[in-house]
Structure 1
Amino acid sequence: MKTRYLRKSIINVFFFIGFAALVFSLDIYEDEKGLMVTDIKFTITNVYTTVVDILADNIEKFSTILNVIRRTDNVNYLNELENTPFTIILPVNEHLGDISDIDIKSFDIEQYIIFEENIDFRENVTANSNGLVIKWGDYPLIFESLKNTVLFYQQRNILNLHLDNSKTDFKTHGEILNLNKDLLDKPSKQDCQLYESTSWLPFPKVNLPSFFEVYDGRYYQLSLLSQLLHFYEKDFEFMRTFINNTLLVVTDGALEKNFKNSIELNYIFKTNHELILFDVNFGDTAKSELISNQKMVLNNLLVHGLLGNGLKEPGSVESLNGETPFELIYSIHDNGYGISINEFHAESLPNIISYKDLEDLEHKNGERFGLSYIFDGFDINTQSLDWNLQKYLIGLSAYDFLQEMYFRDLSYLLKEDREMTLFISIGAGFDYQVPFSETNDNGYNGYNKKNLLYHFVEKNIFIDKEFEKYKTQNVLTKENVDEYETLMFDSMFCRLNKQMGKSCQKLKFYKNSENQYFINSPVSYNIKNVNSPIIVNKCLIYLIDEPLELPGSMLQSMGHEFVHSSQSIIFLQNLNLLNLPPNDVGYTIFVPDDDAWMSLDLNLEYFKKNISILNKIWKKFIWEGLFYTDHLQISNYTNLNKDFIEIVDFQQVPGFNNQIRLVSESQNFTVRKGKDIIFEQGVIQPVSHIEYPLDIQITLKNLLDTTNNGLDFLIFLREIPELMTIVDQNLGYSFIVPTSSAMLKDDQFNVNSTDFIDLMKLHVIHPNSTELIKKCNSEEMQISTLLNGVSLYCKTVDVGSKTPSLFLIMKNKQGDEKKLRILQKGCQTNNQNSCIYIVDDAMSLKWLNSSPILELHLNLSWQSFLMGLLVGGFCFFGVQVVGLGINKYQKDLAEVDYDEFDDNDADDLSQGYRSFVSARSNVSQQSLLHNENNQKMSLNYGSVNFPNHRPTVHENITNNFEAGYSENSQTKPITVQQKKAQLFSTD
């Protein structure tokens, strides 16, 4: 059959070559004489029947393509194209390689034919027309005039524009040749125009990955659409919709303008599909909804049909997504170079993209290709996406959190249309305002349902506005710039909270002076976007720098708050109260800080030595039930001692806007608003002042028994029934108690002395004067004693320590001062004006009653001695007896002045010491003058007990202690050795 067709064609060719037609032409012209002359010419013209005849007649140019046409049985097909005009572009031999390199099976003669049109490219070049876009098969073919040449191509931005004659340069574009010569005559039977070219057709086409590889980053930013299509190019059923349609490739910047924020943009274009579809335990609904949303956006970018000059007439068009809120109007501009949709102009010429298809590519339903144009602006219909919390969390790449929500059956919260606030960590360095594509491990693996619920609040909280709203209750104090403003809200962790009786576990928010916001700790869980929460429907999303943990134990929570309560922690630990049993209502624990404990002084020493009393007090500090300072209401509680507590009133502390006093019939507490510490079983309320429960009583006798100094002083009190009655009956008097070493050195403490009772009365303060001591300041305040007519003075003196020292001052007749430093104090629980004060020296009646002459000798004793030596030298032999008398008188003075007592001389034992020992031997009990380790004390013994963890007001080791004494004082301070107190002494 092929041979017969070829033979017939060859016969036709030679028949037309041998045929000559006579054409008569008369040329009439005027000769030199003006006569008319007529010439008769005969011309022989070749007449071709078909295109094949022309190719055969120009075999030196078209032998290669003619041979391919013959081998592919397309000779008859060309000869039969008689009823329609067409233009055919065929390559010439000099620009073609070896025919053996040609894929005969893929050759399609229709790729070389422009149907329905005769195109005069020479006219286009002459008219300086920039170019022409025509329909070529189902796709555009673009002709462009450049330097008196005509190039033609399909991938304008991909072609190589270097114009040379090398065969490798014309892979993606070709050139129309010989336009400067006369056009070949048209066949007689066909309305056809033939052009010579340099390229085989069709041109190579690109697939989707190659398309984005060429354009993205070089000419345009197309990473968003590139990533999304990279995933779906494997979905052959979906990609079939791209065939014979036009894809609008929108740049990243234009896509961003179609979404409210980058979270929505990330949800559509930046989701890690491998993670979502295969690795994460999401529900099928979430997966299918994500895929549906992404395909809907892609269908918005797919327009029905092929847009371009000669392909589709301008007018209304429709996307594959169907109707949109706005009508799409398509138009052509720039002489067919570009298109517009509504007000958006294409940035590129049309590009042909090849799509994979599983169907047979041999059938003639059209090639598996589509068109694309690049747009730097376009409106996408996103109204039907129906945004919710789940989609936003996917857009935030919070995959771990979402997985746990589904695994813990909490996914219903992600789609509920109600007010909520969510606090979530999305990883360090994430900026939700910047598009983000990397997989984000946000650290929620293994979270239980309680932890997840603790991230939610069942209302909208605009945190910055809430702090402004409650500023009057939570104000930064000017005295302490490190203070925080605080607010508390109930979390969604309620129903499952068995430890707190289904009461909602609270979230506590902190705002510091630098306008930074934290959750549950002044330094942890920093809120990044407090002024601009992410809003989706009725839900607010706040981003924190680490996953939110449930409140920890009592010890952990106090540690987070940096509360200075080490003494309380030690007590709770030793009393086994750090781990409280679940009670279904939660706990409120009032925890005194270290300053509160230290202010108790001797009372604290008493607690340490009486474990049962301390245990009872602490159980009264722990209430069953929840009390928060942000919600003050009259309510009832029970403490661990099972005592019923009814709060009857809340009193504002004068001068402190943020301090509230809880008043009940059994015990009271003063708390600071906003200082609540959240822990796993309830709330901790730090207190800076301890008020004793009414059934806890500490008497004067208890305080005296607490310290060895008091025990020794009690020995002398028992000798005076009148004073002992004060102790036994807890009357409102206070006692000044010298240290044991001070009493030991002073021979006035002698029960046989005539002025012993007056000396002891001098150590007793009237009830109305104790309050004056507590209010003592730098000005001297007069203190009355039980000894008639004798008063003391109180004054605080700054001796270089952190806290000014408190002194009691004695004044004699000459106005000289003797200062006694108060080392410790303790007061009765039922009468705070009845106290004992441990001082570093004893009162001295002799010093108060000393005469001026004695004082002169006291002040000038060395001068008197020198004078005696001089007088003795001159009168040694004459007045020896007088000299001996003077020496005896000086020894007597030394015994009178107790400050001159040399305690380092073991042999110098005065009558006062023997009297002291005698007084102790008169009592029925064994001597109590022992140290804290129950060892016999030496002459250097100092019995004051101090807590070993913090200095008290009377400690002054590194500073000059003697500087606090008046220059008029007649005595020097004695050394007091400090002893460390044991926590729970049994002595």
Structure 2
Amino acid sequence: MRGPLILQFIISLLAICQVIVGNEDFPFKYVIDILSENVEFSTFLRLIQRNGYVDYLNSLTNFTLLAPINSGFIESKGQFDLKRYIIFDQVIKSDEFEDGIKMEYLKDKMPYPIVFDYDSEKKIMMINGDEENVILEKDLVPNFQNSVIHGISREINKPMRLVEILKSLDINNEIMIAILMKRLEQQHMSETNGRTLLIPVDEVFSRQFNEIELNYLIDKYTRLDKNQRWQRDISKLIGSITIGDVIGGRDFEGKVKNLNNDELKLENQGNGTVMIVDGHDSVSKYSNLLFDTGLIHFFNEYEGFDITFDAEKYLHGLNSSRFVEELYFRGVESIVQDPELEQTIFISYQNNGYSKASLMYHFLGQRLETLREGIFESKHCGKRETECQRLKITKSKDNNDNEYRINDQFVVRDKGYHIGKSSIYLMTNDLQLPSEFVSSINPLYGCSKSIYLLNELNLLNFPSNDRGYTIFLPCFDSWKGYELNLEYLQTHQAKLAQVMKSMIFEDLMYSDTQGQLTSTDLNGAQVNVNATRQNDKVHFQIDTFHKNISIETYDDILFNQGVIHPVRQLVLPHATNTTIYDLFDAAGTPEMIEFLEKFSHSLLPELHNGAILVPTATSLLFEGIDINSTSLEEFLKMHVIVENATQNLLSCIPGTPLTTLKSGVQLECRRRNSEFCFIGISGHETWTSGHEVRILRRGHAQGTWVFLVDRPLSLRWLHVPQSRWPLQFLWSSPVMMWITGLGVAAACAGAVTWCVLPMSKRHVDTPRHVHGEQQPLLTSGPGQIQNPDLISSSEIGYAVSPGQGLAANSHGAITSADVSESC
């Protein structure tokens, strides 16, 4: 049994051997075997073995392997990756090589394309456009794997990244580099493998976009990394030149869509060396360029962009991103995003932050394609119902045809930029809102006297309204020949307040105003106005003035509540109204205005239907009373007579109490010789101690009686010790009275010589008489404006002797005849 079995095994073995010997493919060979048999691939084989690719390579089928020879690894770079050398799912033999460029790529298996460029004349096949990397050994075919091996001269390195390859080329592509450098390469190019970029050269961008638009696109001033509108525009731009597949070489023609879903028609010429997109040829030298995730084709012509611009994008391109950020912060960014919105924008590279009001003041509600003189409405409207805050544009007077000024101070030298219906102009310094009344006036206009008078009347700050203010302000030499002297004020002619209030209107009237309108002045009078323009002047015919008020065209001074017109010739109104302040001026004591204003909340309401005793200016000086006196309020209260006691003061009935605002203090009035009225503190040794004041004059205004007295009631009089008998004895003796009087007179004369004259000198050292209106406005303290050139009636003093009339001071302004016979 065993013999036949052994014999049968031997016969079968011989049969198998005969079959193997007769098979030409024996022994069976894999790709790895061919690499082992060829010593020129030893380095490549060793890398395969060291990196564990043997089993992987043996498991593959239907592929082409590009195997570098040993010398190709002399300058080996980077980590070895076998997939760089494999063309999957294709067995490409040399008999398939054709002229031109062929691109092999399987997105799911290959990290990037492999580009073959065959030159039939030279009989060479270049790999990935590298002239030094060509196929040296062709068609090494294993008999046990469906594959082929081509020996190449160099290793295949990982292609450069997109920006790196763009920088390496001698072609103008700085714009595209700048765009891609904004961290968009990773966002747009590395999400998936396999992209084709159709990149226009810089000349294409320059033809389609101006400098400002390019500044925006490339984010020249590095402010737009987080700007969503810019990010969308860049995504759209890159999407327009990006195809979501690798397309190149001679094997593709047809229609594709870019990442924006726009359809593109692709063709190739020159055996794939030139790509044509919608009729525009690529640059043959710079087509089919490989980068790490796709191919690049450069173009000298391209029309695929679809980026729209508006004022916001132009502001970014003009390095005004901070200005735009403020618009977003204030919630008004829409005004620079609407291309159909007609407007003019003034910007500067200088800014220190903006309020919403100051932002809107940079915008005009109309478009100025070219600058011109005029007064234009801004978009800062506030609570006004009629019109918005204006700004004035005037041509510079220094013979510079291209220079304009805004509000007489902000210089515009730029020709302007225009986008949509918006115009943008650059200024040398940042545009500011008009300031407050006083700060807005040029000191060279010589308006200091009018400002002083307004300040005395508390008219420098106007209450808010929804219509604005127009002020015809006497400036330059307009007050000359109309000096408001003491006689003028005493006769109540052209009272200061009436004059100034008649020149202030609660409406806006500019030098470009024409026609008829109705307004209201600060006196509350409704007035009819007719404005006419003649040459370079505007004439305002106002029915409360006896002749026209004329101003220069575009002499307007804008301030935060309206407009000021500097008037060169003073025009007085038909009538005036008197205020208690007028009477203070008539009494020569303007200091009382300041005193009352300081305590207006507590004193002014009590003055209605009451009375106030006003000491002369010189007597206040002797008493040491000024705005800084700590007891000023109590002092004033003792001089205010309440409403129900005013009539008693007017009648001067002896023994009748006169109640004051000072708690616990009552006054009483007495007559002497039926001519003079005296006021003293009730219940004190007033009439025997000389603690009395004499009524010189009086006046009435706004329901208040004003009594000018020769000296103030002293607070010290409230604390005089009771000593009735000695005083009564002295006054009962005529001789002692004369002796005492002479002694007091001598003492007073010495005191005047020793104290008053030096004090007066110090007082005079501060100039009160300013010759000419060109003297700049001076301040004497916070919130106080020094009188520039008016004669202050507070300097008028009076000397009164018992039984004598009034002695006129150096001005000769007051005489005994001026004293009223009644109280």
Pairwise TM-score range, normalised by the shorter structure: 0.5 to 0.7
Partner of 2:436: 553
Query: Equivalents in 2 of 1:102, 1:266: separation in Å?
Result: 38
Per the alignment, residue 202 of structure 2 pairs with 252
Between the aligned partners of 1:56 and 1:400, the Cα distance in structure 2 is 65
Could you tell me whether the CA contact under 8 Å between 1:330 and 1:340 is conserved in 2?
Answer: yes
- In 1, are the aligned partners of 2:446 and 2:476 still within 8 Å (CA)? yes
Q: Does 1:374 align with 2:298?
A: yes
> What is the CA–CA distance in structure 1 between the aligned matches of 2:474 and 2:236, rounded to whole Å?
63
Q: Note closer, same or farther for the CA distance 1:578–1:336 as it changes in structure 2 (3 Å cut).
A: same
1:350 Cα offset (Å):
2.4
Q: Is the 8 A contact 2:449 2:773 kept in 1?
A: no
CA change 1:192–1:587 in 2 (3 A) is: closer
Alpha-carbon offset, residue 321 of structure 1: 1.3
Alpha-carbon shift at residue 948 of structure 1 (Å): 1.9
Residue 154 of structure 2: aligned partner: 199
**Alignment partner for residue 231 of structure 2, among 262, 284, 291?**
291
**Distance in 1 between the 2:84 and 2:450 partners?**
97
1-side partners of 2:40 and 2:457: how far apart? 110
Q: CA deviation at 1:504?
A: 1.8
**Which of 592, 598, 604 is matched with 2:483 structurally?**
604
Written as runs of structure 1 = structure 2, the 5 A alignment for 1:323-722 is 323-324=262-263, 327-333=264-270, 335-341=271-277, 342-346=279-283, 347-354=285-292, 369-382=293-306, 385=307, 387-416=309-338, 419-427=341-349, 443=351, 445=353, 447-464=354-371, 467=372, 486-494=373-381, 496-497=382-383, 503-512=387-396, 513-526=399-412, 528-530=414-416, 533-536=417-420, 538-559=421-442, 563-598=445-480, 600=481, 603-604=482-483, 606=485, 610=489, 613-647=495-529, 649-650=530-531, 656-668=535-547, 669-695=549-575
For residues 419 and 63 of structure 1, the distance between their equivalents in structure 2, rounded to whole angstroms, comes to: 73
User: 1:487 Cα shift?
Assistant: 0.8
Quick check: 2:117–2:129 contact (8 Å CA) kept in 1?
no
Q: Distance in 1 between matches of 2:429 and 2:127?
A: 56
2:219 aligns with: 270
1:527–1:543 Cα contact (<8 Å) kept: yes
Structure 2 CA distance for partners of 1:63 and 1:294, relative to 1, 3 Å: closer
Stretch moving more, 678-687 or 226-235: 226-235
Deviations 1:165-212 (A, max 9, x none): xxxxxxxx524447xxxx888777889775443323x32222234334
Alignment deviations for residues 940-962 of structure 1 (CA, whole Å, 9 cap, x no partner): xxxxx99623799xxxxxxxxxx
Instruction: Report the Cα distance in structure 1 between the residues aligned to 2:546 and 2:405, rounded to whole angstroms.
Output: 32
1:291 is displaced (CA, Å) by: 3.0
Matched-pair contact (CA < 8 Å) for 2:532–2:540: yes
Change (3 A) 1:543 1:68: closer
Aligned-partner SS, 2:410: coil
SS at 2:94 equivalent: coil
CA distance in 2, matches of 1:592, 1:506: 22
Deviations 1:767-795 (A, max 9, x none): xxxxxxxxxxxxxxxxxxxxxxxxxxxxx
Q: Which SS does the other structure have where 2:237 is aligned?
A: helix
Over residues 618-637 of structure 1, what are the superposed CA-to-partner deviations in whole Å (9 max), with x where a residue is unaligned? 33332332222212232333
- How far apart are the structure 2 equivalents of 1:61 and 1:409? 72
Paired amino acid for 1:307: I
Q: Counterparts of 1:76 and 1:554 in 2: how far apart (Å)? A: 88
Aligned residues: 565
Paired position in structure 2 for 1:318: 257
Q: Of residues 67, 83, 88 in structure 2, which corresponds to 1:90? A: 67
C-alpha RMSD of the superposition: 4.7
**Does the 8 Å contact 1:658/1:672 carry over to 2?**
yes
Match for residue 82 of structure 2 among 84, 107, 125: 107
Contact kept? 1:55, 1:66, Cα under 8 Å: no
Give the structure 2 partner of residue 117 of structure 1. 92
Residue 589 of structure 1, CA deviation: 1.4
TM-score, scaled relative to structure 2 = 0.58
> Partners of 1:276 and 1:321 in 2: how far apart?
22
Contact 2:65 2:86 in 1 (8 A): no
Secondary structure of 1:597's counterpart equals: coil
Provide the C-alpha distance between the structure 1 equivalents of 2:343 and 2:774, rounded to a whole number of angstroms: 48
Q: 1:89 to 1:110 in 2, by over 3 A?
A: closer
In 2, Cα distance between equivalents of 1:221 and 1:109: 28
CA distance in 2, matches of 1:511, 1:76: 82
Identify if the C-alpha distance between structure 1 residues 393 and 242 changes in structure 2 by more than 3 Å, giving closer, same or farther. Answer: farther
In the TM superposition, what is the alpha-carbon distance from 1:518 to its structure 2 partner? 3.6
| TM-score calculated relative to the size of structure 1 | 0.49
User: Which of these residues, 22, 41, 51, is aligned with residue 62 of structure 1?
Assistant: 41
Letter in 1 for 2:158: P
Amino acid at match of 1:588: T
- Structure 1 residues 607, 258: CA separation in 2 closer, same or farther (over 3 Å shift)? farther
Write the distance in 2 (CA, Å) between the matches of 1:614 and 1:228. 72
Using the alignment, how far apart are the partners of 2:124 and 2:506 within structure 1?
94
Q: Is the 8 A contact 2:449 2:789 kept in 1?
A: no
Deviations 1:398-448 (A, max 9, x none): 333333323323234344575331423151xxxxxxxxxxxxxx5262x22
Contact 1:48 1:54 in 2 (8 A): no
Assess if the C-alpha contact under 8 Å between 1:423 and 1:544 holds in 2: no
Matching residue's letter, 1:551 = P
Change (3 A) 1:567 1:224: farther
- What amino acid is aligned across from residue 373 of structure 1 in structure 2? H
Q: 1:391 to 1:639 in 2, by over 3 A?
A: same
Instruction: Provide the rounded CA distance (Å) in 2 between the counterparts of 1:570 and 1:213.
Output: 70
Distance in structure 1 (CA, Å) of the matches to 2:544 and 2:565: 19
- State the AA in 2 paired with 1:107: L
Residues 98, 552 of structure 1: alpha-carbon distance in 2 compared, 3 angstrom cutoff: closer
Q: Distance in 2 between matches of 1:75 and 1:694?
A: 114
C-alpha displacement of 1:301? 1.0
Match of 1:604, SS state, is: coil
For the Cα contact (< 8 Å) 1:228–1:270, is it kept in 2? no
Consecutive unaligned residues of structure 2, counting only runs of 5 or more, are: 1-16, 578-756, 758-767, 776-787, 797-810, 812-823
Compared with structure 1, are the counterparts of its residues 118 and 455 closer, same or farther at alpha carbon in structure 2 (3 Å cutoff)?
same
Alpha-carbon offset, residue 659 of structure 1: 4.1
Q: Is the contact made by 2:115 and 2:127 (CA closer than 8 Å) also made in structure 1?
A: yes
Matched to 2:268, the amino acid is: S
What is the distance in 2 between the residues matched to 1:336 and 1:154?
A: 14
CA–CA distance in structure 2, aligned partners of residues 245 and 415 of structure 1: 33
Offset of 1:508 from its aligned partner?
A: 1.3
In 1, distance between residues paired with 2:225 and 2:78?
46
Q: Is the 8 A contact 1:608 1:614 kept in 2?
A: no
Structure 1 contact 588–625 (Cα < 8 Å) conserved: yes
Tell me the distance in 1 between the aligned counterparts of 2:118 and 2:467: 85
Partner SS for 1:460: coil
- Whole-angstrom CA distance in 2 between matches of 1:210 and 1:98: 20
Please report how far the alpha carbon of residue 58 of structure 1 lies from its aligned counterpart in structure 2 after TM superposition: 4.8
- Kept in 2, the 8 Å contact 1:424–1:455? The answer is yes
Gaps of 5+ in 1: 1-14, 22-44, 162-172, 278-286, 355-368, 428-441, 468-485, 698-933, 935-944, 953-979
Checking the alignment, whether the CA contact within 8 Å between 2:386 and 2:466 is kept in structure 1 is yes
